[in-house]
Amino acid sequence: MGNPLSSDLNALRQAMERLATPGHYAQSFHLVPPVGWLNDPNGLCQMGDTYHAYFQYSPFNPEGGVKMWGHSTSKDLVRWSYEGTAIYPDQPFDVSGVYSGCAYVENDLMHIFYTGNVKREDEDHYDYVTSGREANTIYVTSRDGRTFGPKRLIMTNADYPADDTEHVRDPKVWRQDGTYLMVQGARRTDDKGEVLVFRSDDLRHWSLANRVSTEYPFGYMWECPDYFELADDGDLTASEHVKVLSISPQGLRGSDWEHRNVYQSGYFVMRGDLLGENYLSPFALWDAGFDFYAPQTFQASDGRRILIGWMGMPDTKEYTNLTLRDGWQHCFTIAREVTAFDGRVLQRPVSELDALRTNERSAKEELDVDGCKEFDLTVEGLTGRIDVMRAHVGRELMLSWGSGIFEMRFLDESMESVGAGRKVRFERLDELRNVRIVGDVSSVEVFVNDGELTFSTRYYPTAYGVDVEAPGTRITLWDLLA
């Protein structure tokens, strides 16, 4: 396969995978790397009856190293099978990493776009912001998602605006109104993040069509942009489309950002036109937990908009992952369906997850069950609103709502504890109507008010178990059997 570099990387990658021992925090139904490090979801798409998910993969180093695209497939968006590694950094234009990108499918052909990262050696001369880097846009096609045509270099830094730094990356492509559109994330020389919008008629030749940013300072770099439109299922705004511009901004400072993660992922609802004048709503977080970054969406052939995030966080010293002992780190979130209702953007686990439910237990107001590692739990307000709620997952992770705050808190804050250094995350929430908690062996995802607010975290329990107290509610718990 490929040139000598990619064939050796392939052999070494397989040798590492043969040595892998995922350990007792191995996940049951979350997409994980076979060994080493995983970050962003890439190339999410459906071809025929198969879903494809690629991932930023460093098999040689669980703390991150040279990036390639790992590949997994699924028939139901819930159970994933690892397929091997798809794209290696084996060319001068992607030698420092096959960075993030997308797959756009048309007529059973996968059109893949990614960033070829090049970082030149000479730390004395380069600042790696305005010098020392290349961010190349690479285009590859595939009929089966496993074998690929030649890599074509279609854009270099010379094709991006002159007042952008060398940080431009993460192409996402789709077709709209008879043309192809691409968004890329960028850092301007004045340290403002922005989204570049490109247009093409043939997927090979692209020209800059717009630049989108906030009027006010909002971070220095916007990574992993995505854009999509949702039909609004509510009554208030019926027939209007909600235009969603998703970004992962870096460098947010001050006020509320001080108690949140080092980097964020969220979206603006856009009024106006992506290709013309537009106005961006206040930014809303996709997820307010400890571990969520760089999500990507795709449209399934049944029309659903599916979002998958990286359940991890770059550049944080605050907390760690105990799976490092077993030579691997990070996973994806479960696939979430994104919908709009009366102008609100909601996320819920894809309905395919329901097929894993078994052993239903239901109680009013209080439930306490030992030993659940993989579970799905719902708390529904019998009369609508819930006045107060407190739950513990893995005995040490407390979820609570009261006095207008929804909180996720680890009771022990030390690095060796269940939270491995994670402490507390919270968001203002005036009214609580329902909560859904999906647990896997070492992760918890919480969906509040039909997914208006979500919190995702990794955790490392020594004793599994869930207890919930919420007066006036019906609590239901299922085991999930993957």
* CB nearer to ligand FRU: pick between 223 and 337: 223
Name residue 326's amino acid: D
Q: Which of 404, 416, 398 is nearest to 457 (CA)?
A: 398
Binding-site member from 170, 287, 337, 440 for ligand FRU (CB under 6 A):
170
Q: How far is the CB of 105 from ligand FRU (least distance, A)?
A: 21
Handedness of CA 448, 452, 453, 457 (dihedral sign): positive
The enclosing H or E element of 8 equals helix 4-19
Q: How far is the CB of 116 from ligand FRU (least distance, A)?
A: 10
C-alpha 300: how far from chain center: 17
Tokens of 51: 């879903």
* CB nearer to ligand FRU: pick between 225 and 394: 225
Dist CA 306 CA 338 (whole Å): 6
Binding-site member from 13, 52, 67, 133 for ligand FRU (CB under 6 A):
67
Binding-site member from 195, 294, 356, 420 for ligand FRU (CB under 6 A):
294
The angle formed by the CA atoms of residues 149, 152 and 154, to the nearest 5 degrees, is 145
Q: How far is the CB of 297 from ligand FRU (least distance, A)?
A: 15
Size of the site for ligand FRU (CB under 6 A): 14
DSSP characters over 329-391: E-EEPPPEEEEEETTEEEEEE-GGGGGGEEEEEEEEEEEEEE--SSEEEEEEETTS-BS-EEE
* CB nearer to ligand FRU: pick between 64 and 394: 64
Binding-site member from 52, 71, 133, 169 for ligand FRU (CB under 6 A):
169
Contact (CB, 8 A) for 155 and 86 = no
Q: How far is the CB of 233 from ligand FRU (least distance, A)?
A: 31
Contact (CB, 8 A) for 451 and 346 = yes
Binding-site member from 39, 85, 142, 339 for ligand FRU (CB under 6 A):
39
Residue 231's beta-bridge partner residues? Answer: 241
Binding-site member from 6, 27, 46, 56 for ligand FRU (CB under 6 A):
56
100 binds ligand FRU (CB under 6 A): yes
Give the count of beta carbons closer than 10 Å to the beta carbon of residue 428. 9
Dist CA 243 CA 230 (whole Å): 7
Q: How far is the CB of 58 from ligand FRU (least distance, A)?
A: 8
Cα-atom radius of gyration of the chain, to the nearest Å? 22
Q: How far is the CB of 224 from ligand FRU (least distance, A)?
A: 6
Name residue 216's amino acid: Y
314 binds ligand FRU (CB under 6 A): yes
291 binds ligand FRU (CB under 6 A): no
Tokens of 148: 């690929």
Dist CA 310 CA 356 (whole Å): 22
Site mask, ligand FRU, residues 109-148, x = CB under 6 A? ------x---------------------------------
Give the count of beta carbons closer than 10 Å to the beta carbon of residue 395. 16
Tokens of 71: 């590949």
68 binds ligand FRU (CB under 6 A): no
* CB nearer to ligand FRU: pick between 245 and 432: 245
* CB nearer to ligand FRU: pick between 39 and 72: 39
Longest CA–CA separation in the chain, Å: 66
Binding-site member from 54, 80, 99, 375 for ligand FRU (CB under 6 A):
99
Catalytic residue at 40? yes
Q: How far is the CB of 39 from ligand FRU (least distance, A)?
A: 5
Contact (CB, 8 A) for 461 and 411 = no
Site mask, ligand FRU, residues 190-209, x = CB under 6 A? --------------------
* CB nearer to ligand FRU: pick between 29 and 113: 113
Dist CA 65 CA 58 (whole Å): 5
Site mask, ligand FRU, residues 217-236, x = CB under 6 A? ------xx------------
Q: How far is the CB of 70 from ligand FRU (least distance, A)?
A: 12
* CB nearer to ligand FRU: pick between 69 and 104: 69
Contact (CB, 8 A) for 372 and 439 = yes
Binding-site member from 30, 35, 40, 461 for ligand FRU (CB under 6 A):
40
93 binds ligand FRU (CB under 6 A): no
Q: How far is the CB of 295 from ligand FRU (least distance, A)?
A: 10
* CB nearer to ligand FRU: pick between 111 and 330: 330
Helix (H, G, I), strand (E, B) or coil at 430: coil
Q: Which of 108, 101, 103, 102 is nearest to 47 (CA)?
A: 108
In terms of C-beta density within 10 A (0-12 exposed, 13-18 middle, 19 or more buried), how is residue 193 classed? buried
Catalytic one of 8, 40, 124, 479:
40
Helix (H, G, I), strand (E, B) or coil at 365: strand
* CB nearer to ligand FRU: pick between 100 and 329: 100
CA distances from 211 to 42, 165, 170 (A): 23, 14, 15
Residue numbers annotated as active site: 40
Chain residues that interact with ligand FRU, rule: CB under 6 A: 39-40, 56, 67, 99-100, 115, 169-170, 223-224, 293-294, 314
